[in-house]
Structure formats: structure tokens, C-alpha cells
Amino acid sequence: MKTIILALATILAMNSTLGYAEETTMIDKVKHFFSSDGENPLTPSIKEIVDQTQEVKDDIKDLSSNYVIKNIKQYNQMIEEIKDEAGSRKWFLFKRDDAEQFDILYNGIKEIRDFYQDLKKQNKNGKITKELRAYARQIDDFIAVIPRKIAENNQTKQMLQDQLKHLENLDPEKAAVRSDALSHRIMLCDKRIEMLSGFSQNFAKMRQVVADAGKSIDRFVFTVDESALVYDDVYKTLKLGRDISTAYRTLKELQSLDDISKNIMLSWKNLDEIVNALTANVTDFN
């Protein structure tokens, strides 16, 4: 059975691409992606899946904060699934089947390692930090214009109410339509005013979040940078385990060469019997 943790891809927004229900796990999605009319094609790399989903326009060089946060969340989910898959059985990496399954998980870790390393590299100029701080400033900017927006909607509401009082120049049918339309628009003005006022009141309770945004952003970026180092060490450790297991498997195969040679020589006797059986009557014309 081909198990399956791949990324980012997966990282990469397969809910919308394949139309799965929410309870479908990422592993299920990738299994489905791998299957092709009952065939078992070669396992594509995570990068190939990312390209095929076309969810990431500029690969991991597109560092909008939405992209960064979205993919970190998806990679965290993938790590949970890798953990579950890794703990689902005992692994004997000197066995070829286990080694192949190990490589799938190993490639998933490598993809995440590359992602964090690229973020660390790209953020040397503070790109992610600047974008996240810009998001925080957008909230402040929005809050600043709320009083003006409320006033504008109140003015619009008053204007619509005045129009509602002066429909005598329209014929009755058109007046009824205009009255209904104006009533709906007044209701929507009230809704906008309610939403703006409600957000302003709730934001007052959460203002400290924005005030602390600078610290939160710095801590987030610092954690991302540290993750690049942690994942790199995880990758190196798994790679070492794979290399050691490959060495053991190679030694075992080398040990078996003598037995294989003997079996080859034993097969010669079978060849003699085959030749004798097939050529016994070659010269018999009777």
C-alpha cells in the first residue's frame, strides 16, 4: 500500500481542487491523487503536486503574508499526519518496502525544511515582517474611518427617507416599486451602521491585540527562522538514518552474493536438462 504524506501540496489546497468533504484527511486526498484508474504511477514529488494544483502562482517565492500563514498551517497539519503515519507501525529501514515508505515521509519533511529555509532566506530583508506590520496598520486605518463611514451612511439614510416622502410625481405602480426599493436601501443603511458600530465597540475590547502586534510579529518571524534550523536538523537526522539503513541493506546484499553465485551454478544443471529434453529427437526422422 502506498502511503502518503506529501505536501504542500497538499500544501497546497487540495480541498478546492478535488472537492473533498472536510472530514477527508490530507492522506486520503493524496492517495486519491496518486490513483489513476487502478494504476499505481510513480509517486510524484511534493513540488510536482504544488505545480499541478496551480494554487501557488510563484512557488514559495510568493511571500504574501496570507500565503505564508496559510502554508504554515497546512504544513503543521501535514506534520500531524506524518507523526500518525510514523507511529502506525514498526519501521525496518533495511527492508526495501519500509525504505520506500520512509522516503515518502522523508521527502515530506524535506519539503517543509526547504519551505522554512526559503522563508528565512527571503526574510533577511524583512519582507514578511513588513507585510505583517502593514496588515496591522490596515486595521488601524479602517478603525480611523469608521466614524466617517457611519456619518456617510446616516446621511444616505436621511436622503433615502426624504425621497420616500416624495413619490407623488410617479404613477401608483412605479411609486410602489420605488417605495419598496427605498425601504430596502434604508434597511441596508441601518445594517451597515449596525455592523460598523458593532465592530468599533468590539475592537475597543481587542485594541491591545493591535497594540501588541509588533511583538507578536517579531516573535512569529523569529519562530519561523528557528524552525528553519530545527527542520534542517530533523532532515539531517532522517537522512543519516536512511543512509545507515542503506549501508546495512547493501552489506546484507553483499553477504548474499556467494549464495546467489552458488544458485546460479546450480541452475546450470537445469539448463542441461532443458537442452537435453528439447534436443533429444532433433536427429530422429522416424
- pLDDT for residue 65: 60
The contacts of residue 48 (CB under 8 Å, 6+ apart) are none
Residue spans of the domains in the chain: they are 8-125+221-250, 128-211
Average pLDDT of every residue of the chain: 76
Q: Is the Cβ–Cβ distance between 108 and 46 less than 8 Å?
A: yes
Asked if pLDDT for residue 114 goes beyond 70, the answer is yes
Torsion from C-alpha of 68, 54, 59, 7, nearest 10 degrees? 70
Query: Could you give the CA distance from residue 105 to residue 3 in angstroms, rounded to a whole number?
Result: 9
Lowest mean pLDDT among 45-49, 74-78, 119-123, 250-254: 45-49
CB-side neighbour CA atoms (13 Å) of 125: 4
Phi and psi, residue 24, nearest 5°: -70, 130
Lowest mean pLDDT among 13-22, 94-103, 166-175: 13-22
DSSP per-residue letters across 213-262: HHHHHHHHHHHHHHHHHHHHHHHHHHHHHHHHHHHHHHHHHHHTHHHHHH
Asked if pLDDT for residue 120 goes beyond 50, the answer is yes
- Other Cβ atoms closer than 10 A to 225: 17
Over range 168-175, report the average pLDDT.
88
| Residues making up the chain, counted from first to last | 286
- Report which DSSP code applies to 170: S
Q: Which of 17-31, 39-53, 129-143, 212-226 holds the top average pLDDT?
A: 212-226
Query: Could you give the CA distance from residue 175 to residue 182 in angstroms, rounded to a whole number?
Result: 10
Asked if pLDDT for residue 271 goes beyond 50, the answer is yes
Query: Could you give the CA distance from residue 115 to residue 127 in angstroms, rounded to a whole number?
Result: 15
Over range 51-63, report the average pLDDT.
40
* Stretch (H or E) spanning 12: strand 8-12
Grid coordinates representing 230 are 530545527
DSSP, collapsed to helix, strand or coil, labels residue 135 as: helix
- Report which DSSP code applies to 89: S
